[in-house]
Amino acid sequence: MRQASSADLLDQLRAVGAQRYHDKHPFHVAMHDGRLTPEQLRGWVANRYYYQKNIPVKDAAILSNLPDRDKRRVWIRRILNHDGTLEAGGGGLEQWFALARAVGLSNEEVVAETRVAPGTRFAVDAYVTFARTQPWLPAVASSLTELFAPDLMSKRVEALVANYPWIDPQGLDYFRRRVTLAAQDADAALPWVLEGAADPAVRDACVAALRFKCDVLWAILDATQAAYGIGQDS
């Protein structure tokens, strides 16, 4: 019975991605098709930065609610991977700054957040609040957009290299790195959700959490498109 329930939950989680993941958003489709202007790409990088800088914040919130040491030891790697360390430096956020420079933005301009749309800020702040206030299992389940990310990251690198030759390819290292790290993160978190969501109400909460996360990513693109348009004729 438990194996059947886990399989059913996994199917439901994957169905959320198939229906609602942000790769289907018109702005995202236009980006991969090569139809965005340089200014629209800069708008996307700047808005997405607000999400990127809050990833370790939401992960710290989830970390504080995890029930045991073993899980915390696993989860804390997410924060270190994104923020880097004092000894090793680097991290995903530093690579996002490299992407920003590759599309023509300065670090100072990105950090100032003058390009961040109110809708982006609202959606990301809501996600951080969700991670901080929800039970740990649905909060972990909300991270499982990572199930769909590796394939998307590979396609994104190919699309950006092919369609935007003015972007320095070294600025795309964030996406290359996430192909591996997103898969590792999903492999660690998915068993917790499948094993822990035995109760139907908890399963529903986990599916709803992943749906909410997809809505957050979609809302960021809605806000970006509203602020910067989409395509050459926008």
Q: Which residue has the higher pLDDT, 171 or 2?
A: 171
Share of the chain above pLDDT 90, in %: 92
- Answer for the pair 99, 76: CB distance below 8 angstroms, yes or no: no
Is 90 exceeded by the pLDDT of residue 7? Answer: no
- pLDDT on residue 233: 63
Topology (CATH level 3) of domain 2-228: Heme Oxygenase; Chain A (1.20.910)
What's the whole-number mean pLDDT along residues 174-197? 95
With b for 16 or more beta-carbon neighbours within 10 A and e for fewer, the 168-207 pattern comes to eeebbbbbebbbebbbebbebbbebbbebbeeeebbebbb
Confidence band, pLDDT 50/70/90 cuts, at residue 5: confident
**Contact yes or no for 218/20 (Cβ under 8 A):** yes
Model confidence at 232, pLDDT cuts 50, 70, 90, reads: confident
- In 66-199, which ranges are continuous DSSP H helix? 69-83, 92-102, 107-112, 118-133, 136-142, 149-163, 173-196
The token duo for 19 is 């229906």
The per-residue pLDDT for 130 is: 98
Mean pLDDT in the chain?
94
Residue 13's closest CA among 144, 143, 132?
A: 144
What the block records as the tokens of 142 is 């909300």
Tokens representing 173 are: 């290292």
pLDDT at 4: 47
Report which of 6, 18, 45 is spatially closest to residue 156, judged by C-alpha positions: 45
pLDDT of residue 2: 45
**CA 49/CA 46 separation, integer angstroms:** 5
Domain assignments of the chain as residue spans, ordered by start: 2-228
86, 180, 119, 19: CA torsion to nearest 10: -160
Per residue in 49-95, pLDDT tens? Answer: 999 999 999 999 999 999 999 999 999 999 999 999 877 678 999 99
- For residue 232, give the 3-state DSSP assignment: coil
Beta bridge partners, 85, equal 89
Q: Does pTM surpass 0.85? A: yes
Task: Give the pLDDT confidence score for residue 85 in this predicted structure.
Answer: 86
